[in-house]
Chain A
Amino acid sequence: MTDLVINPTQSRPWGKILLRALLFALLGLFALFYLMPLFVMVTTSLKSLEEIRTGSLIAFPREITFEAWRTAWSGACTGIQCEGLRPYFWNSVVLAIPAVLISTVVGALNGYVIAQWRFRGANLIFSLLLFGCFIPFQVVLLPMARMLGLMGLAGTIPGLIFVHVIYGIGFTTLFFRNYYVTIPQELVKAAKVDGAGFFRIFWSIFLPLSLPIIVVTVIWQFTQIWNDFLFGVSFSQAGTQPVTVALNNIVNSTTGVKEYNVDMAAAIIAALPTLLVYVVAGKYFIRGLTAGSVKG
C-alpha cells in the first residue's frame, strides 16, 4: 500500500526521508491506538485479581498466571451453572460450521443460476434477495420465533442454523452473483455445446474459478454467525446458547467481586476463532473483494 504514496519531493532526498518518517510515525500511532484495547485485555487476563486491584490498568503483569483463562474456559458461572465457556464454545462451533457451509453453497448455486442462466424473473428474485440483506434483525425476530415453533426447532441448534442460513443467503447470493456476472456467458454456452449439464458446468468450470469469492463469503458468514448475539439470545435456551450469549452471561452474572481477568480471558476466547479466520484467509479476503474480471 505504501507505494501508493505520491512523493512530490523526489528531487530532494532529505524531504523524501522526512515524509517517510512522518508517514511511519503516523501509521505507528494508529496501530498503537488500535492495539491498546487488545493489550489491556491480554495483560489483564494474565493478572491475578489481587494484582488488578492494586496495579495500574496498562501495566504489564508482575506475575503471569493462566488461572483466569482456566476459569473462563471451564469454571466460570453463567447463571446457575459453572462450566465456563467450553460447552457454549462447542455450541458455536457446531452451529457456525454447518450454517456457514450451507449458506455458502446455497449462495454459490443461487449466484450461478441468477448470473449465468438468466431465467424469466431472475432479476426480480435477485432484487428480493438483495432486499433481504437490508431487513433489520429485529424485524424478523417474532415471525422467525413463530416459524421455528411451527417447525419444532425452537430453542435448538438446528433451529439457529436454519435462521443463520436464511438470513445469510441474501448476502452470499449477492457475493457470488456479482462475481459470476463478470464471467462471460459464452463459457456456459461452450460447455453446453461440449455436452455438460447444469451441475457439471458449475462443478467443472465455475467452482474452480471461485476460490477468492468463497473465501470472502466464508469469512463474512463466519464472522456474522460467530459474533451474532441477537439471534443467539432470542432463539436458544439453556444448553444451546452460543458463546456470545454465554460470554454476556459470565460478565453480567458475577456476584460479589467482578473478576475482570476472567471476563477478559473469556472475551478473548470468544473472539479467537474470527481472529484466526482473518489471519489464515485475510489476504484472500482482500483479493476476493477486489477481484473483478476473470482472464479468459
Chain B
Amino acid sequence: MAPILDIKNLYKNYGPVEILKDINVAIEPGDFLVLVGPSGCGKSTLLNCIAGLEPITDGTIHIGGRDMTHVSPKDRDIAMVFQSYALYPTMSVAKNITFGMKVRGVDAATQERKLQEVAGQLQIEQLLHRRPGQLSGGQRQRVAMGRALVRDPKLFLFDEPLSNLDAKLRVEMRTEIKKLHQNLGATMVYVTHDQIEAMTLATKIVVLKGGIVQQIGSPAEIYNRPANLFVADFMGSPAMNLIPARAKPNGTGTQIEISRDGEAPLVLTDTQAPDLPEDVILGLRPEDIAEAGFRAGESVQKAECLIEMVEPAGADTFVVSHLGGKQVTARLHAETSAQSGKTLPLAFDLSKVSYFAPESGDRLN
C-alpha cells in the first residue's frame, strides 16, 4: 500500500534558526503515528507543517499519494485537533462542528446527519446548543474531536489533545481515542510528550529531539531496542538504568564489569554480546532486574547487591541500588523480602540488555 503520509527531507527554519532538520517519516493507512519529544523539540511545528499552516523551508510532503508541499491547508484533506482546542467561542457546539461543512458547501441535510452521528459517537448530544465557554475541559476536548471527526479526512492531526485534562480524565480520553482509532480505522498523527500516551496509542512512534528524529519504530522497538541514550532515557517510567561498564572479551563471551563503591566490581558475562569497545553504557529496564529465583534463563546472571532504598508501589516494589556510580532501579514483586541496608541477590536478564557508546550515545547491539 502506498504511504498515506510521506515526509521527505523536511527542513523548517524560523529565520536563521533551524527548528526541524531532515525529517523523513512515512505512514501507512490505519497507522497511529505518535510524535514524542521534550518540550520545544518541534513537535507542534512538524504538525503545523503537515497541516500546511506553516510553510516549510525544504523537502516534500505527500498526503494520499499527492504532493501537498505547497497546497493550502483546506485542500490537504486533513483534520486537526489543537492543543488549546481552538473552538470558535461565539458559535454553539453544533455550529462549531458543522462550520467546516458549511464553508465547504455541504447541504444542510448531510450536515445535520453527520452532526448527529458524531454527537452520538462522542456522547455530546445534550451539549449541542451550548457555547464552548459553558463546557468543561473534557467536553470541550470532545467537541474539538467532533469537529475533526465529521470531516472524514485522509489524515487526522492531534496536537497534545489531552494535555489540559486532569489525570483521570486523561486516562479515560486516552481509551476513547484508542477506541475511535480502532473503530474508524483512520490514520492519525498524534503529538504528545507523555510517553505513556505514546506507548498505549501508537502503532508507530517518532522520537524527536532538537528537531532531529532520534528513532522511528513500533512502541516495542522503541521500548526494547532504543536507538540511543536519549531515547533510552526518555521512554519508560521509571527510566531505563544506564550503567557505565567495561567490556572485556573472554573465551565464552564478553565480560561486563561494573564498578562498585568499596566493593569488588560486579561481573556479568554476556554470551550474545557483539564486539564492544572497552567503555560502554549498559542499559537495562527496571523490570529486567529481578529478585534472584524469580527469573530464570540462560542469559540471567545473578549477583548480590546492596539495597539502598525500598519503594513499595502497590503492584510492584522498586528497589534502588548503586552500581557503576549510578542509581539502579529494579522492579520486584510486591511481596519481596528486600530491606534497605541489606544485600539482596538480584538477577540481571542480559537477553534484554542494550549497549551504548558513551560518547556518541549510539546503540551498539
B89 with A193: CB separation less than 8 A: no
In the complex, how many angstroms separate the beta carbon of A244 from the nearest chain B beta carbon?
38
Q: Which of A18-26, A31-39, A182-190 contacts B (4 or more CB under 8 A)?
A: A182-190
Main secondary structure of the interface of A (DSSP, over half): helix
Q: Which of A184, A196, A205 contacts B90 (CB 8 A)?
A: A205
Q: Are B103 and A193 in contact (CB under 8 A)?
A: no
Complex: A190 Cα to B51 Cα, angstroms: 10
Asked if A121 lies at the interface with its beta carbon under 8 angstroms from chain B, I say: no
A198-219 at interface with B (beta carbon < 8 Å): 200, 204-205, 208-209
CA of A191 to CA of B99, assembled, Å:
8
A154 to B53, CA, bound (A): 47
In the complex, chain B residues whose CB is within 8 Å of the CB of A194: 74, 99-100, 103, 147
Residues of A within 8 A of B (CB-CB), count: 20
List residues of chain A with CB within 8 A of the CB of B84.
Answer: 184, 186, 296
User: B74's contact among A184, A186, A192, A204, by CB below 8 Å, is which?
Assistant: A192
Closest to A186 in B: B86
A208:B132 contact, CB within 8 angstroms: no
Q: State in angstroms the CA–CA spacing of A192 and B78 once bound together.
A: 11
Q: Are A190 and B103 in contact (CB under 8 A)?
A: no
A197 to B73, CA, bound (A): 10
CB <8 Å contact, A184 and B86: yes
In whole angstroms, how far apart are the Cα atoms of A205 and B88 in the complex?
A: 7
Which 6 residue pairs of A and B lie closest in terms of their CB atoms, listed nearest first? A194-B100, A186-B86, A195-B74, A208-B90, A190-B86, A195-B103
A186 touches B82 (CB 8 A): yes
List residues of chain B with CB within 8 A of the CB of A189.
48, 51, 53, 73, 80, 82, 86
A296 x B89 contact (CB < 8 A): yes
Most buried by B among A194, A208, A294: A194
Residues of A within 8 A of B140 (CB): 296
Residues of chain A lying within 8 A (CB to CB) of residue B87: 190, 296
Most buried by A among B78, B86, B91, B147: B86
| Residue A295 lies at the interface, judged by CB distance under 8 Å to chain B | yes
Given contacts A191-B88, A205-B88, A295-B133, 8 further A-B pairs with CB under 8 A are: A186-B86, A189-B80, A190-B80, A190-B88, A193-B73, A208-B90, A209-B90, A296-B85
- Complex: A172 Cα to B103 Cα, angstroms: 29
Please give, as numbers and ranges, the residues of chain A lying within 8 Å of B48 by CB-CB distance. 189
A193 touches B74 (CB 8 A): yes
Chain A residues with Cβ below 8 Å from B215 are none
Q: Which A residues lie within 8 Å of B72 (CB)?
A: 192
Question: Is B104 located at the chain interface by the 8 A CB criterion?
Answer: yes
Interface residues of A (CB under 8 A from B): 184, 186-187, 189-197, 200, 204-205, 208-209, 294-296
Q: A186-B84, A187-B86 are contacts. A195–B104 as well, Cβ < 8 Å? A: yes
CA distance A209 to B78 in the complex (A): 27
Nearest residue (CB) in B for A211 is: B90
CA distance A195 to B48 in the complex (A): 15
Please, what's the 1-or-0 string for B295-334, where 1 marks a CB less than 8 Å from any CB in chain A? 0000000000000000000000000000000000000000
Give A87 to B250 CA distance when docked, in angstroms: 110
> Measured between C-beta atoms, what is the minimum distance from B209 to chain A in Å?
25
Q: How far is the CB of A293 from chain B (nearest CB, A)?
A: 11
Q: Taking the complex as formed, is B259 at the interface, i.e. its CB lies under 8 A from any CB of chain A?
A: no
- Across-interface contacts of B147 in A (CB, < 8 A): 190, 194
Q: Which of A184, A196, A294, A296 has the most CB of B within 10 A?
A: A296
Known: A189-B53, A195-B74. A296 touches B90 (CB 8 A): no
Q: Is the CB of B104 within 8 A of A192?
A: no
A186–B83 touching, CB < 8 Å? yes
Residues in B whose Cβ lies below 8 Å from that of A191:
88, 99
The complex places the Cα of A196 from the Cα of B83 at a distance, in Å, of 20
Which residues of the partner chain A approach B78 to less than 8 Å between Cβ atoms? Answer: 193
Judging by beta carbons under 8 Å apart, are A294 and B86 in contact?
Answer: no
B79 located at the interface, meaning its Cβ lies under 8 Å from any Cβ of chain A in the complex: yes
Within 8 Å CB of A192, what residues of B?
Answer: 53, 72-74
Please state if A195 and B86 are interface contacts (CB–CB under 8 Å).
no
- A-B contacts, 16 of them at CB < 8 A, read A186-B84, A186-B86, A187-B86, A187-B89, A189-B48, A189-B51, A189-B53, A189-B73, A189-B82, A190-B88, A190-B147, A194-B99, A200-B103, A204-B88, A295-B132, A296-B84
Smallest beta-carbon distance B178→chain A, Å: 23
In the bound complex, how far is the Cα of B131 from the Cα of A295, in angstroms?
Answer: 10
Kindly state the separation between the CA atoms of A197 and B75 in the bound complex, as whole angstroms: 12
B124-139: CB near A (< 8 Å → 1, else 0) gives 0000000011000000
- A211 → chain B closest CB, angstroms: 10
Closest to B78 in A: A193
Which of A187, A189, A190 has the most chain B CB atoms closer than 10 A to its own CB? A190
Q: Does the CB pair B83–A193 fall under 8 Å?
A: no
Task: Report chain A residues within 8 Å CB of B85.
Answer: 296
In the assembled complex, the Cα of A196 lies from the Cα of B88 at a distance in Å of 13
Of chain B, the residue at the smallest CB distance from A195 is B74
Q: Cβ of B86 and Cβ of A295 under 8 Å apart? A: no
Q: When the two chains form their complex, are residues A187 and B74 in contact, meaning their CB atoms are under 8 A apart?
A: no
A72 to chain B, nearest CB (A): 45
- A208 surroundings in chain B (CB, below 8 A): 90-91
| Contact assessment for B86 and A296 in the assembled complex, using a CB-CB cutoff below 8 Å | yes
Complex formed: what's the CA distance from A98 to B53 in Å?
37
With contacts A189-B53, A295-B89 taken as known, whether A204 is within 8 angstroms of B99 at the C-beta atoms is yes
Minimum C-beta distance from B106 to chain A (A): 10
In the bound complex, do residue A193 and residue B79 qualify as a contact, i.e. CB atoms below 8 Å apart?
yes
Q: Which residues of B, 79-118, contact A by the 8 Å Cβ criterion? A: 79-80, 82-91, 99-100, 103-104
Contacts of A196 in B (CB 8 A): 74, 99, 103
